[in-house]
Amino acid sequence: MRLGLKNAFLYTEKGFVKSSISIIDNKILPFSDSLDCEVYDCDGLYIFPGFVDVHVHLREPGFSYKETIESGTKAAVQSGYTALCTMPNLNPVPDCFDNLKIQLDMIKQQAMCTVVPFGSITVSQGGQKLSAFDEMSTYVSGFSDDGKGVQDPQLMREAMLKAKSLSKIISAHCEDNSLLNGGVIHKGEFSEKSGIPGICSESEFGPIARDLALAKETGVAYHVCHISTKESVELIRQAKNDGVDVTCETAPHYLVLNDMMLEDDGRFKMNPPIRSEEDRQALLSGIADGTIDMIATDHAPHSADEKSKGLLNSMMGVVGLETAFPVLYTELVKNNVITLEKLIELMSINPAKRFFEDQSGVNLCIYDLDEKYTIDPHSFATMGRSTPFEAREVYGKCKMTVCNGQIVYNTL
């Protein structure tokens, strides 16, 4: 592909610079009128490194009525994402190479961007026996039992030692099942007023504390999924100061919403739940000081029926690929909570460094930050329609995505 992009604000390590570039044979070169390129005038538009989401559910194999690899990656590229890590709660669970290969073949056939799966930590995500790490290590971004916490500390220690020997990441869903007590939302003011059972914060930060001690002992590269509590932030901050090889992610809904904004609607139900304003402020502080390394969507589509049963009976999980950047840009950048450069670090630079260190080629997206619109789930490319940001007015629309040197989405 030979492409020219003129007069854009280009992201660089020193900030945004008005610039023109060419993309030729999967390399970025200085722009020249003498080059034979298809040229786009990007005056007033912004060029970002392609976004990287290290926590998505594409639902295949096994649950194609919720999402397919094709529909999920279409949603991704229409939003500026060029690389995704997919979670293993599938059927069959990728706990051995034969099961993983089913997913890899589907990715090869359908994916519109780079997709690298996680292998499961335990067989069938059952928490009893380690998966076949050796068979899968070459093909996965790491190992996770996302959707389920590993309850047995000795088994988690074994998993960390095995992952360490293979130079792979353990990406942990931290949840203590003994503390859930049937909860479906945050155990706080809203749950008390509504009578809807709550999930305590300790169910998250307790396992994080356990795992951080194990990570320090084993030396594994450890990543914490979707943190939501103030205690989680502080534990990870302390662990980083103590030299533990730990990174973590949070999600847009934890940074923008608190539990007093909940409605009795399935589009507000996810795991972990939206927590208190105090927790939200702690997450923002964690982003400001670098404790929180990245923002992932935990994109988790379900059918309309599965999300139509209120907070108590709907399935856990909301979609996020098509709302993440515009919501965060509108609520955090435009309100001067963080800079645009910081948002790009969180959505692209940092996750790429941790999970896609060997990625090469040209991966970028072009955004019109002035385009204002209302989030309408019926316009989504994902098969999921459930988002807490429905009907929210936002700024920022993706106009082009280039993945591995090829245009995969373009409305310019």
The catalytic residues are 298
Residue closest to 323 by CA, chosen among 249, 411, 255, 403 = 255
Which value, to the nearest 10 degrees, does the dihedral of the CA atoms of residues 390, 393, 395, 396 take? 20
Residue closest to 169 by CA, chosen among 353, 317, 298, 321 = 353
Beta bridge partners of 172: 224
Cis previous bond, 92, omega within 30: yes
> Which residue type does 164 have?
K
CA distance 134 to 228: 32
Is the alpha carbon torsion for 226, 232, 233, 236 positive or negative? negative
State the residue for tokens 């608190």: 258
Q: Are 380 and 411 in contact (CB under 8 A)?
A: no
State the helix-helix crossing angle for 230-241 and 202-218, rounded to 10 degrees: 10
CA distance 28 to 404: 11
State the residue for tokens 């901050």: 237
Integer distance in angstroms from the first to the last C-alpha of the chain? 16
